[in-house]
Structure 1
Amino acid sequence: MKAKYYILVMSLVGLLSYRHGMAQHVGFDLPDKLQRVRIDFELHNNLIVIPVVLNKTLKANFILDTGVQYPIITEKALADMLGLTYSRRIIIQGPGEKDSITALINTDIHLQLPGGVESGMNQSLLVLENDYLNLRETMGVDVYGIIGYDIFSRFIVEINYDEKYLVVHEHKRYKPKRRYKKLDMRVYNTKPYVSLMVENKRGDKNKLSLMIDTGASHSLLIDSPDDRSVLPTTNIMSVIGRGLGGDIEGHLGRVKNVKIGKYEFENPIVSFPQEGDYGSAVMRGSRNGTMGSEFLSRFNVVFDYFSGTLYIKKNKNYAREFEYDMSGMTLVAHGTDFNEFRVGSVRYNSPAYLAGVKRGDIIHSINGFNFEILNLSGASTLLRQKEGKKITLKITRGEEEFKTSFKLLRYI
């Protein structure tokens, strides 16, 4: 099943340092006299989704992403509704099928988060001219943008994946919690990195520097040519993600062990992008890959960019098994209100393929659960939950309606 996550890589963003008019306040602030603000979030396919009010008029859902430097509106129609004007057009290099895409720069938007956290009136952001991410379709919820560094660089950010809330703290007032373990974190080119140890099935150990990417729903991704030996002998070829330029292909497999700080994980699933599909866009040598939210969400975490520290404490998801889709089909949201499932692709000889499922089929229910009950994130979880579990689909294909069933099968 196609991984429901994306990877964003920006270039030429230095152009955004441009400001027009008189000097004004730049960046986010808490309301007067407050030292911290709690913000509840939704979690979809391991991605944190928060509401953002644009220009004090329009509310839209944004993904909180440590991998992006400037806020992004992914659908230009939303920017058109706001009547935004642009100072210039730039080229963005990003992983995927397209070598580069174009984006427009706006330098005078106002953004407000829940609890009264807001930017000055001259916040900068990018507007994509074409939406290759298709966030609403791949996530099944109304998501129109991405925000990251502007939050993490201004506050100490505490993320509680257990109870689905985050807290932004004034950094001068924050006191670390005793039960959290402290890890060194390097912030380079606006992005956070930590080191961990990966052991392959042959017993070889590799110390890797991975970018922490809350905007990617995978577990770990390794993208260093020097570390290809980590690639497991048993693996599958798949679309492993989606970048600004479209789909990213690669391999998926299990490594023997991953250790971060004092914590160890056995047999986690790791993604290995196909050379040229991803690495050329991220300047090889700056990192060995990424740590996504499938891995990070096993902890409650605190990002402290000011001291270069990541605090982690294992949560109720810590012992959850690392699993991948066992059906062989990809699903995307479909319909006017994105309230149906559509089959994006079917892997040859997979359980779904042998049960007669075809690309383009509309699935109205899975084991009796429709989209309103299950949603896309829930469907993805169900299809990787337990090998041997029976799955029954109610399908429409053209004018035909029928049911079909199969049992889940573990590939890796």
Structure 2
Amino acid sequence: MKRVLTIGIILVMGIIPYDDGALCQHVGFDLPDHAKRVRIDFELHNNLIVIPITINNFIRANFILDTGVQYPILTEKALADLIGLTYSRRIIIQGPGENDSITARVALDVDLELPGGVRSGMNQAMLVMEQDHLNLRETMGVDVYGIIGYDIFSRFIVEINYDDRYIVLHEPKKYKPRRRYKKVDMRVYNTKPYVDVTVTNNRGQTNVMSLMVDTGASHSLLIDNPDDRSILPTSNISSIIGRGLGGEIEGKLGRVKSIEFNKFEFENPIVSFPKEGSYGSGVKRGSRQGTVGSEFINRFNVVFDYFSGTLYIKKGNGHSREFEYDMSGMTLIAAGADDFDQYRVNSVRYNSPAYLAGVKPGDIIQSINGFSFEDLRLSGATAMLRSKEGRKITLKIMRGDEDFKTSFKLTRYI
């Protein structure tokens, strides 16, 4: 009998093992017999695609679909122990975050099954993190246990419909591109896809940058070029800009004049600039200049074709929406003893609307404008706090044994 565990990532980018000799066994997902394609519905949390995967025909767990990871990753070792995975060795991996190197175990002969009967068979290798620096449940507010990427994108042509929230895995030889989609040249380097994006800074200077398309990153764009900071806006704020395999990533946020992508132009987008060293030396500088994240990608419906080196794009419903960031000054994480059914204030920016309204780190938010965690989930609350400047926000707060309400208006500070 399959046991269902329903355990997501603010920011996940590529990992690079020091020694991947233990991971070189043949891996290959297959569609069911005679199938040309399989559709899989997904949930979208903090701009990230979450799909269910059954492990060893025993436990069904949620995974992030992430173009930035080379091997499937299980972030909770306790889950691996429950399944009874066996390990061939321990390795060191590198990824973005405050911990530049982390350890993981290599599990071999793992069977992964996606909805619709898409299956790897007992030939899949998987990395199991010994310590979870991602803190997925807290940062996403939903149960997510893992990340998967290249094993799917390298086997199928992957269509992602952000509007209706489904993906289609196409057998490559059977796929025919749709006329309404525009073709973008895409390079697959070191298992990851790259496209060219033109960034214009606030002084009108343009830069054509090779950026990795990262479905596992919730930001719009991240530019990592410590030798040339001319793109960094003079008006910016310091912040935790995300979280990678190695933990939190520090940096700055600011608006550039515009971004042009395949003749689509976007004005005043918010760009993340990681602090030098915070991004992690494991993400090799020179091989890329940053990432295009899901806050940007999900303005289109897209098709990844690693075989021809093509990204197909078509305008989505959210194509014209404004780029916004939190306007409250507080960051929230999921809380609750067992079921993570509350919001907890993780930090409050000095002199921000939340700060001036008396909100403090550690406060439990019981409702936002009358909506509970069950009504909004964490991604819904985050969207509300970046929705519209001047919007009134009323919080019901529990602090120790005290319950009270406070209100403030959202203020744009980027």
Query: Smaller-chain TM-score range?
Result: over 0.9
State the match for 2:258 in structure 1: 257
Which residue identity lines up with residue 51 of structure 1 in the other structure?
A: P
State the match for 2:358 in structure 1: 356
Which residue identity lines up with residue 13 of structure 2 in the other structure?
A: I
Alpha-carbon contact 1:361-1:396 (below 8 Å) kept: yes
Alpha-carbon separation, structure 1, partners of 2:280 and 2:81: 33
Alpha-carbon separation, structure 2, partners of 1:346 and 1:42: 29
State the match for 2:21 in structure 1: 15
State the match for 1:103 in structure 2: 104
State the match for 2:243 in structure 1: 242
State the match for 1:386 in structure 2: 388
Consecutive unaligned residues of structure 1, counting only runs of 5 or more, are 20-24
Deviations 1:112-170 (A, max 9, x none): 00000000202000000000001111101110000000000000000000000000000
Deviations 1:348-401 (A, max 9, x none): 111111111111111010000000111000000000000111111111111111
Deviations 1:272-328 (A, max 9, x none): 000011152311100000000000000000000000000000110000100000000
Matches within 5 A, 1:248-397: 248-335=249-336, 336-397=338-399
Alpha-carbon contact 1:135-1:143 (below 8 Å) kept: yes
Shift of 1:44: 0.2
Alpha-carbon contact 1:5-1:45 (below 8 Å) kept: no
Shift of 1:18: 4.2
Alpha-carbon contact 1:224-1:287 (below 8 Å) kept: no
Shift of 1:9: 2.8
State the match for 1:230 in structure 2: 231
Which residue identity lines up with residue 318 of structure 1 in the other structure?
A: H
Alpha-carbon separation, structure 2, partners of 1:4 and 1:361: 21
Normalising by structure 2, we get a TM-score of 0.96
Which residue identity lines up with residue 64 of structure 1 in the other structure?
A: L
Task: Say if 2:6 is the partner of 1:5.
Answer: no
Alpha-carbon contact 2:98-2:280 (below 8 Å) kept: no
Which residue identity lines up with residue 404 of structure 1 in the other structure?
A: T
Shift of 1:342: 0.4
Runs of 4+ in structure 1 deviating by more than 4 angstroms, as ranges, are none
Which residue identity lines up with residue 374 of structure 2 in the other structure?
A: E
Alpha-carbon contact 2:100-2:281 (below 8 Å) kept: no
Deviations 1:68-89 (A, max 9, x none): 0110000111101101110000
Consecutive unaligned residues of structure 2, counting only runs of 5 or more, are 1-8
Percentage of identical aligned residues = 73
Alpha-carbon contact 2:95-2:280 (below 8 Å) kept: no
Alpha-carbon separation, structure 2, partners of 1:279 and 1:74: 19
Alpha-carbon separation, structure 2, partners of 1:196 and 1:48: 23
Alpha-carbon contact 2:46-2:218 (below 8 Å) kept: yes
State the match for 2:3 in structure 1: none
Shift of 1:13: 5.5
Alpha-carbon contact 1:7-1:242 (below 8 Å) kept: no
Alpha-carbon contact 1:208-1:288 (below 8 Å) kept: yes
SS of aligned partner of 2:87: coil
Matches within 5 A, 1:102-251: 102-251=103-252
Alpha-carbon contact 2:72-2:148 (below 8 Å) kept: yes
